[in-house]
């Protein structure tokens, strides 16, 4: 191949754009990656990490996002209430609120028809004894008051409620005992 083939010849028409090099010939002589980049159907695939850490600005934005997500997860784990749980397949939910300067707490054990079927094998055919201990705490975690309540869970919805009249309660805990299992739920009083 001679050097003359790489250069275009100027036509006599003055309106055509003249380029010094023949583009198709240059692409044929180029490496595979350059040919892929000039191919209109080629899609350049980069990994997510490479595209996010491509330059200093993107690296810093990616680092800030990772730090903020980790802080959010840490706050969620340490600060969130655990007011919903399960014990023996029974969904439990603790709600608390302030009404007329009293802290009120309500605990609901949802309906579970399969619970009675599991009791038929044991000696407790009428239901299971449920003990709930409500503990009201102040903002420092000191115990203000507690109340122990009992009931029999037969598979139908069962509710317990308690109140604290001191007005200083900021958090309530409910300790639930059913047969030999124990579950603790907590909720901030809103």
The pLDDT value recorded for residue 173 is 92
Tens-digit pLDDT profile for residues 10-54? 555 666 666 667 778 888 888 888 888 888 777 777 788 888 888
pTM for the predicted model, two decimal places:
0.59
Report d(CA 63, CA 12) in Å as an integer: 60
What rounded mean pLDDT belongs to the chain?
82
If asked whether residues 139 and 67 sit together in one domain, one would say no
Report d(CA 174, CA 177) in Å as an integer: 10
Looking only at the bridges linking them, the beta strands covering 90-99 and 102-109 are antiparallel
> Are 185 and 166 in contact, with CB atoms under 8 Å apart?
no
The pLDDT value recorded for residue 166 is 82
Structural domain includes residue 165: yes
The pLDDT value recorded for residue 69 is 95
Residues 6+ positions from 103 with CB-CB distance below 8 Å: 96, 97, 136, 163, 164, 166, 167, 169, 172, 189
Report d(CA 107, CA 105) in Å as an integer: 7
Report d(CA 22, CA 35) in Å as an integer: 15
Q: Which of 45, 78, 111 is the last residue of a domain?
A: 78
The pLDDT value recorded for residue 3 is 59
The pLDDT value recorded for residue 22 is 78
If asked whether residues 62 and 90 sit together in one domain, one would say no
If asked whether residues 24 and 116 sit together in one domain, one would say no
For each of the chain's 190 residues, which pLDDT tens digit applies?
555 555 555 555 666 666 667 778 888 888 888 888 888 777 777 788 888 888 888 889 999 999 999 999 988 877 666 888 888 888 999 999 888 888 999 999 998 877 767 765 555 667 788 999 999 998 888 899 999 999 998 888 999 999 988 878 889 999 999 888 899 998 888 8
Tell me which residue range forms the domain holding 181. Answer: 84-188
Q: Which of 35, 57, 78 is the last residue of a domain?
A: 78
Query: What domain count does the chain have?
Result: 2
Nearest to 147 by CA among 129, 160, 131, 135: 135
């Amino acid at each position: 191949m001679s050097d003359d083939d790489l250069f275009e010849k100027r036509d006599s028409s003055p309106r055509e754009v003249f380029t010094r090099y023949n583009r198709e010939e240059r692409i044929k002589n180029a490496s595979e990656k350059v040919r892929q980049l000039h191919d209109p159907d080629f899609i350049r695939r980069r990994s997510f990490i490479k595209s996010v850490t491509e330059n200093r600005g993107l690296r810093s934005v990616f680092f800030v996002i990772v730090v903020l997500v980790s802080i959010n997860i840490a706050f969620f784990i340490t600060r969130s209430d655990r007011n919903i749980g399960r014990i023996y397949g029974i969904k439990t939910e603790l709600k608390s609120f302030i009404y007329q300067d009293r802290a009120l707490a309500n605990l609901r054990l949802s309906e579970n028809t399969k619970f009675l079927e599991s009791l038929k094998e044991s000696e407790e055919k009428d239901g299971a004894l449920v003990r709930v201990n409500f503990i009201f705490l102040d903002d420092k975690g000191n115990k203000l008051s507690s109340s122990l309540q009992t009931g029999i869970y037969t598979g139908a919805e069962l509710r317990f409620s308690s109140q604290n009249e001191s007005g200083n309660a900021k958090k309530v805990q409910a300790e639930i005992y059913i047969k030999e299992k124990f579950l603790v739920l907590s909720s901030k009083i809103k």
